[in-house]
Chains A and B, each alone.
Chain A
Amino acid sequence: DVVLSQSPRSLPVTPGEPASISCRSSQRLLHSNGHNYLDWYLQKPGQPPQLLIYLGSTRASGVPDRFSASGSGTYFTLRITRVEPEDVGVYYCMQGLQTPWTFGQGTKVEI
């Protein structure tokens, strides 16, 4: 199975400051069609996960532009330019290239 390793596991943040989370994959997630099959989800406390980013770097509908993502192959990064209080929660990367799809362990972002 593809193993995704996120770092850091815990990220204290200050509102207005930037934040960054990395996700490293045990296998390349670049499909032959040129897309990376790597998504980012945020699970706010007491809520189901919500999609932030798909195909490595495409922001989902309604996601603020302070969220961005980059990377290819085995290394990916999610960035928040200026953290807002509503951004707290656990962030997960997930790969959809090879079944079983797998998630990273999560990064808990707290203020």
Chain B
Amino acid sequence: QAHLVQSGPEVKKPGASVKISCRAFGYPFKSYVLSWVRQAPGQGLEWMGWISPYNGNTNYARRFQGRVTLTTDTSTTTVNMELRTLTSDDTAVYYCARGVIVASPYHYMDVWAKGTTVTVSS
């Protein structure tokens, strides 16, 4: 059964960076993309970007460009999301989700991890 497992909660100070891992199980890793979506406390969902483990291609939301980097390690079927220069506005639950490609770059997200809570506080 396909599933995704993320790393544990993080507490960071403003200005620091955070790196969250998302490990895939139970499906051919290179055949799907991985998207990242975050949710601030009590707020809605915000798409951050996606990466293709097949070729390493990435697509970032404009508001995160220059501050976020997605990388993939096919040997461990893991995708990492690094977010830099954190502020309190980055306090959120971060989700990775498997993307089923229909017609690139569109994909729908059919398997979601439980999420990683990131708290940014001085």
- Please give, as numbers and ranges, the residues of chain A lying within 8 Å of B37 by CB-CB distance: 49
Find out whether the CB atom of A100 lies under 8 angstroms from the CB atom of B62: yes
How many residue pairs, one in A and one in B, have C-beta atoms under 8 Å apart?
65
Interface residue B61 (Cβ < 8 Å from any Cβ of A):
yes
Find out whether the CB atom of A103 lies under 8 angstroms from the CB atom of B108: no
Q: Is the interface of B mostly helix, strand, loop or mixed?
A: strand
Find out whether the CB atom of A35 lies under 8 angstroms from the CB atom of B103: yes
Q: What's the minimum C-beta distance from A10 to chain B, rounded to whole angstroms?
A: 14
Q: Which of A59-111 contact B (CB under 8 A)?
A: 60-61, 90, 92, 94, 96-97, 99-106
Find out whether the CB atom of B106 lies under 8 angstroms from the CB atom of A103: no
Q: Residue A96 contacts which of B61, B106, B112 (CB distance < 8 angstroms)?
A: B106
0/1 interface trace, chain A 32-74, chain B, CB 8 Å (1 if under): 0101010101010001111100110000110000000000000
Find out whether the CB atom of A55 lies under 8 angstroms from the CB atom of B47: no
0/1 interface trace, chain B 56-82, chain A, CB 8 Å (1 if under): 000101110000000000000000000
The answer for the CA separation of A60 and B110 in the assembled complex, in Å, is: 8
Interface size grouping (class) on chain B: 20 to 34
What is the interface size of chain A, counting residues whose CB is below 8 A from a CB of the partner? Answer: 29
- Please give, as numbers and ranges, the residues of chain B lying within 8 Å of A49 by CB-CB distance: 37, 45, 95, 97, 109, 112
Q: Residue A48 contacts which of B62, B105, B112 (CB distance < 8 angstroms)?
A: B112
- Please give, as numbers and ranges, the residues of chain A lying within 8 Å of B86 by CB-CB distance: none
Q: Assess A55 versus B102: contact at CB under 8 Å? Given A92-B44, A92-B45, A103-B44.
A: yes
- Interface pairs (19), CB distance under 8 Å: A41-B45, A48-B95, A48-B97, A48-B114, A48-B115, A49-B37, A49-B109, A51-B110, A54-B100, A54-B102, A92-B44, A94-B47, A96-B105, A96-B106, A96-B107, A100-B61, A101-B47, A101-B61, A104-B44
